[in-house]
Amino acid sequence: MKKQLKVLALMLGVAGLATSAAHAQDKVKIGFITDMSSLYADVEGKNGAVAIQMAIDDFGGKVLGMPIELMSADHQNKADIAASKAREWIDTQGLTMVFGGTNSGTALAIAKVAAEKKRVYINNGAASSALTNDQCTPYTVHYAYDTVALAKGTGSAIVDGGGKSWYFLTADYAFGHALEADTTAVVKAKGGNVVGAVRHPLNASDFSSFLLQAQNSKAQILGLANAGGDTINSIKAAKEFGIGKSMKLAGLLIFISDVHSLGLRNTEGLQFTTSWYWDLNDETRKFSARFFEKTKRMPTEIQAADYSATMNYLKAVEAAKSVDADKVMTTWRGMKMNDFFGSGQLRADGRYVHDMYLMEVKKPAESTKPWDYYKLIKKLPGDSVFTTKAESKCPLWK
């Protein structure tokens, strides 16, 4: 009896695993892996999938005669889960391309899997410039923004405005380190200095002790090298401890969802760089209205990028007449892109070069309608803010 039970148990298990071993190449499957439940859930999350699906629907739901299917998963900010999911989908579900990875650690992990298995990988959420620099691959597309652009945009503006001495509050992983390093380079190049830095664990619950250390450094500027929930909590705690009286806060990566969560009272005057804003022009407003109808929230730059990148990817597939990653990437690099998100081209290192915008958060009195949070200070041409050829260590771009 025991043996029968054992065999039965194992057979059930194996049967359960073998659910879809057959992968026919008669569907185009897009895999979306991002943070759906933790500190980055609002900047991309489930609504990112909504944006991608909108693009799929607008494209017609089919490409090269094959229906397009979207699968999503939550990587919980764990690189091992992200990489395993990507690998499993490619091996057993016939995944055509991978999307996502908000969180630079997971993005780098997925990029490796995508390169190994030759699948196109589009990333909007992660910021680490390493994705198109020393860790570039022929299949990675870094679409929206990266730490270099953020550093050059915001860092330059603040140092030019008089903020010469900096102290960093850094999220202790790939993204935070990259942002701190890139901003430090910009500050130093402009004659400023970095007094010190303190690293906090990802998704920390209490920032008080870190902020006190920052305050004791007597620096002028507190650079927040973190994002999403961490930034929201840093700003809240900074208010609580009156940090604003002696230091100015520099948000190096701010999303509209952060401002919405904190309110204009807590964020007014904050200067930062972004790749897109819903209220820039008629085209952006049109897309945002549609998005708002589905989600009741205005899209963040990442969600807008998700739509735009999907559209352009499908266009590239159509033009290449194939889903083969090499062919698609070659075709895509030759395409000129122009839509409500931006205009520009894909570089050899996978970087989408387009304009960025230096923004400032409005005062509560200046805001006239819901989600009216930013005012444009300056448009930053793409070539001036992204990594230059001289700075790049990517072997694909020589």
Question: In the complex, which residues of this chain contact another protein (CB under 8 A)?
Answer: 1-3, 5-7, 9-11, 13-14, 16-19, 21, 36-39, 41-42, 74, 76, 78-80, 83-84, 87-88, 91-92, 104-105, 108-109, 112, 172-174, 198-199, 201-203, 205-206, 208-210, 212-213, 215-216, 228-229, 232-233, 236, 240-242, 245, 261
Q: How far is the CB of 317 from another protein (least distance, A)?
A: 27
- Let me know how many helices (H) and strands (E) the chain has, helices first: 15, 16
Strands (E), the chain: 28-34, 62-63, 66-74, 97-100, 120-123, 140-142, 165-171, 193-200, 221-225, 248-251, 271-274, 337-338, 343-346, 352-353, 356-361, 374-380
| Secondary structure letter of residue 351 according to DSSP | B
Residue nearer to another protein on the CB measure, 208 or 388: 208
Residue nearer to another protein on the CB measure, 73 or 311: 73
Q: How far is the CB of 166 from another protein (least distance, A)?
A: 18
Residue nearer to another protein on the CB measure, 74 or 146: 74
Cα–Cα distance, 55 to 294 (Å, whole number): 13
Residue nearer to another protein on the CB measure, 30 or 353: 30
Single-letter amino acid code for the residue at 320: A
Q: How far is the CB of 374 from another protein (least distance, A)?
A: 22
Structure token digits, residue 330: 């070659």
Among 272, 341, 350, 277, residue whose Cα is nearest residue 311: 341
Q: How far is the CB of 149 from another protein (least distance, A)?
A: 21
Residue nearer to another protein on the CB measure, 172 or 339: 172
Q: How far is the CB of 14 from another protein (least distance, A)?
A: 5
DSSP assignment of 121-173: EEESS---GGGGTTT--TTEEE-S--HHHHIIIIIHHHHHTT--EEEEEEESS
Cα–Cα distance, 135 to 129 (Å, whole number): 9
Residue nearer to another protein on the CB measure, 220 or 284: 220
The answer to whether 306 and 341 have CB atoms below 8 angstroms apart is: no
**How many C-beta atoms surround the C-beta of residue 260 within 10 A?**
18
Among 182, 176, 143, 169, residue whose Cα is nearest residue 342: 143
Cα–Cα distance, 91 to 35 (Å, whole number): 22
Residue nearer to another protein on the CB measure, 156 or 215: 215
Q: How far is the CB of 261 from another protein (least distance, A)?
A: 7
CA atoms within 13 A on the CB side of 47: 23
Q: How far is the CB of 196 from another protein (least distance, A)?
A: 11
- CA-to-CA separations, 251 to 185, 259, 356, in angstroms, rounded: 17, 11, 16
Q: How far is the CB of 267 from another protein (least distance, A)?
A: 14
Residue nearer to another protein on the CB measure, 208 or 384: 208
